[in-house]
């Protein structure tokens, strides 16, 4: 797929997915809390700082930083989806955050002045961008000297059965195409060497990379299907168009593949994020 076509379809998808992410915001934040906590600690925002969050989605990671920035500080909570920006705007109002500015921003073309922010957060965003190198270069441009970036991407498919199992089953049944090598996707930045190369190419030094584990809990296979389809995305679209035969086969295969992760009361599907901080 050409990059411009990918940008167009990705924006359409995230606009449509925003409502599901708003409904599922609490569980998303709960599961990914270890990642968000690592990022905010690594960024080390100070009272009075200006922090930009890219691909903020519902905004939880940035809002944790906003609480530290204080009345004299500012969080710019941004997403390239205007619908997602509205989700974050409503959540900030619920939290009573008065130091948050909400902006529609494309991370590859950040409409901010050079050297204008003290820190940047981006949780699970760079891996889905058509040109992560360009986005990182733009991130470096808007950071002031001494400014810091904290990001997260997903590790390999093997480390993330919570999403990889379903993707593999859909591919087995010919319902989804195999991923194009190097194309934007969940695992494209899983390799630490590739991530370091991109950060260095954008001008970032003092790199620190770790792995953070998370855990997705489901009551049963039906619970997995309901919650996953509610979030939108590829699984939701394919499930919505699938025949009854395909749906039954997918359900059976999910149950078989989830068996190693069974616990009393359901399933615990692990995940691993690669987290990085650089300045």
Question: What pLDDT digit, counting tens, does each position of 114-132 carry?
Answer: 999 999 999 999 999 999 9
pLDDT tier, 219 (very low <50, low <70, confident <90, very high otherwise): very high
Q: What is the per-residue pLDDT for 178?
A: 79
Strands (E), 109-238: 117-123, 143-154, 208-218
Q: Whose structure tokens read 């919650």?
A: 227
Q: ∠ CA 240-84-67 to the nearest 5 degrees? A: 135
Lowest mean pLDDT among 7-11, 58-62, 212-216, 256-260: 7-11
150 within 8 A of 45, measured Cβ to Cβ: no
Right CATH for 3-157+179-215+271-278 from 3.50.50.60, 3.40.50.150, 3.40.50.10860, 3.40.50.2300: 3.40.50.150
Give the Cα separation of 148 and 117 in Å (integer). 9
Q: What is the per-residue pLDDT for 215?
A: 98
Query: How many CA atoms within 13 Å lie on the side-chain side of 163?
Result: 20
Average pLDDT over residues 38-56: 98
178, burial (CB in 10 Å: exposed 0-12, middle 13-18, buried 19+) = exposed
Q: What percent of the chain has pLDDT over 90?
A: 95
Q: What is the per-residue pLDDT for 3?
A: 80
* Structure tokens belonging to residue 142: 């808007």
Q: What percent of the chain has pLDDT over 70?
A: 100
Give the Cα separation of 222 and 243 in Å (integer). 17
Q: What is the per-residue pLDDT for 182?
A: 83
Neighbours of 149 (CB within 10 A): 26
Average pLDDT over residues 188-193: 97
Q: 58 CB contacts (<8 Å, ≥6 apart)? A: 21, 22, 25, 28, 29, 84, 87, 88, 91
Lowest mean pLDDT among 71-75, 131-135, 178-182, 214-218: 178-182
Q: What is the per-residue pLDDT for 1?
A: 62
DSSP 126: G
């Amino acid at each position: 797929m050409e990059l411009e076509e990918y940008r167009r379809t990705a924006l359409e998808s995230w606009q449509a997915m925003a409502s599901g992410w708003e409904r599922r915001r609490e569980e998303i934040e709960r599961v990914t809390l270890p990642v968000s906590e690592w990022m905010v600690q690594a960024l080390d925002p100070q009272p009075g700082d200006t922090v930009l969050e890219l691909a903020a989605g519902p905004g939880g990671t940035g809002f944790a930083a906003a609480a530290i920035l204080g009345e004299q500080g500012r969080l710019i909570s941004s997403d390239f989806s205007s619908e997602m920006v509205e989700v974050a705007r409503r959540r900030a109002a619920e939290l009573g955050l008065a130091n948050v500015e909400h902006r529609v921003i494309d991370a590859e073309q950040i409409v901010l002045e050079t050297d204008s922010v003290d820190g940047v957060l981006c949780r699970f965003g760079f891996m889905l961008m058509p040109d992560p190198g360009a986005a990182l270069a733009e991130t470096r441009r808007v950071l002031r000297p001494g400014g810091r970036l904290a990001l997260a991407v997903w590790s390999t498919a093997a480390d993330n059965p919570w999403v990889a199992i379903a993707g593999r089953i859909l591919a087995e049944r010919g319902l989804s195409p195999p991923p194009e090598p190097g194309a934007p996707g969940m695992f494209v930045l899983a390799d630490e060497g590739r991530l370091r190369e991109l950060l260095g190419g954008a001008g970032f030094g003092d790199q620190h990379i770790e792995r953070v584990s998370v855990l997705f809990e489901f009551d049963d296979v039906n619970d997995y299907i309901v919650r996953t389809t509610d979030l939108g995305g590829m699984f939701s679209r394919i499930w919505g168009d699938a025949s009854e035969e395909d749906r039954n086969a997918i359900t059976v295969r999910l149950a078989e593949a989830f068996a190693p992760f069974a616990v009393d009361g359901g399933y615990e599907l692990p995940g691993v994020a690669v987290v990085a901080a650089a300045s």
